[in-house]
A and B are shown apart, each in its own frame.
With several copies, the nearest count.
Chain A
Amino acid sequence: MELFDAVRANLLSPAVLFFALGVLAAVVKSDLRFPEQLYAGLTIYLLVAIGFKGGVAFADAGFAEVWLPAAAAIALGALIPLWSYPILRFWGRMSVVDSAAIAAHYGSVSAVTFIAATNYLTAVGQPFESYASAFLAVMESPAILVGVLLGKRAVPKSGLPALTGSSRQVLHEALFGRSVVLLVGALVVGGLSGAGGMAKVEAFFVTPFQGVLALFLLEMGLVAGRRLGELRKVGVFLLGFGVLMPLVHGFIGVVLGHWTGLSLGGATLLGVLAASASYIAAPAAIRLSLPEANPTLSLTAALAITFPFNLTLGIPYCLAVARWLYTP
């Protein structure tokens, strides 16, 4: 009952409603489109804002408090592909590269899902560790590296000539890719400038943040809605995978958060991170290093199945799991 109320509150938040509006506009084939550079600008804003805020909180909490759950987050990100891969490969009968690519997407994380979850927690009055965006920052890359390792074994067998320098590139992309630099960089900047710095930039990076997210989700809805047509192409297996894995990973994430001493809200966020699938960092890195994989599969699963699922149901689900786990 309580879960039902939580879901309803989430569904009626401006952010989720704007997402739905975007999906609808795409479905009725409206010519509404966000300019690409606006999308890029909003992404930069959201990543920098969330990173900066997390950095200020990180500096406040101190490394001693953060390292254990952060290490758990990294480990979880690296491990998820290891069990996702065989599921995709053998139950889903996908090719080696496709299985590896999708596994990488699901081990990595979605910043927007995370941000939506922090807003949701704020809305329902559930406190959480603000430094949790550090987990977001460190969870982007490990799964990508594992996924690429899994997939690379297949390329020689494919008979295709190797592309020059692509394995060097993946490491570079994992360490210095756009979103990693923005998140980790803003974290460090936030950590160094502390509360005094926050006071200066709060009116830009914090106050209007929720509204910006709502507008951004309108565009996300457009993008996701346009891919709905490809759901047929990806098949029933991937549809199930995209809905069930978040439930499993969300559960594991929450439990891990509990074990490593996070609060109820922090554990929820770790669950949401685990449940989420990357659609920014992973696609870029995978197209560079495993171009043999079919991007329609991974992108449609991450963007048109798992993202909407988490945004609407996955986030309240993780909170419900956490509440159940933390009940004495």
Chain B
Amino acid sequence: MIALKLVTIICEAHARKPLTELLRDVGARGWTAFAVEGNGDKGPRLADIPETANVQLQVIVRPEVAITLLERLEREYFPRYGMIAYASDVQVIRSGKF
């Protein structure tokens, strides 16, 4: 089994498009996304209108890509959008896929 990183990003739905472009930019070969609701320092985000909806993005990448991604998120996106991001360890079977 190969050790990789799962980076999870939870952000406002309007930021989805630029974020997926960032993912491509740092070298991710795929991603998964779904609508979520949430609550945080910027107040409740009920998902009934797109203006206050959140999206959760999940991307599996090699550890060094995870670091680049998190750093760019912190520098470029955190100051602009309400969001959080975190990394965790995952194991996959197919190498070469990520």
Contacts and interface: CB of A to CB of B under 8 A. Distances in A.
B97 interface: no
A291 B15 contact: yes
A284 B50 contact: yes
B59 to A, nearest CB: 17
A39 interface: yes
Contact of B49 (A39, A230, A291): A39
B15 A164 contact: no
A2 interface: no
A128 B53 CA distance: 37
Contacts of B21: 164-165
Nearest to A279: B51
A126 interface: no
A299 B51 contact: yes
A283 B51 contact: yes
B92 interface: no
B41 interface: no
Contacts of B43: 230, 296
A163 B76 contact: yes
Contacts of B94: none
Interface residues of A, number: 31
B12 to A, nearest CB: 7
A163 B80 contact: yes
Nearest to B44: A226
B84 to A, nearest CB: 16
Interface string B27-53: 000000001000000111011111111
Chain B: interface residue count, which band? 20 to 34
Contacts, number: 65
B25 to A, nearest CB: 7
A82 interface: no
Contacts of B49: 36, 39, 223
B18 interface: yes
B48 A35 contact: yes
Contacts of A296: 42-43
A124 interface: no
B80 A169 contact: no
Contacts of A284: 14, 50-51
A295 interface: yes
A67 interface: no
A288 B48 contact: no
Contact of A33 (B15, B48, B81): B48
Contacts of B53: 36
25 contacts: A31-B17, A33-B46, A33-B48, A34-B48, A36-B47, A36-B48, A36-B53, A39-B48, A160-B79, A164-B18, A165-B21, A166-B18, A169-B17, A219-B48, A222-B48, A226-B46, A283-B51, A284-B50, A287-B12, A287-B14, A291-B15, A291-B81, A292-B79, A292-B80, A295-B51
The 8 closest A-B pairs by CB, nearest first: A287-B14, A291-B80, A36-B48, A283-B51, A36-B47, A161-B76, A34-B48, A223-B49
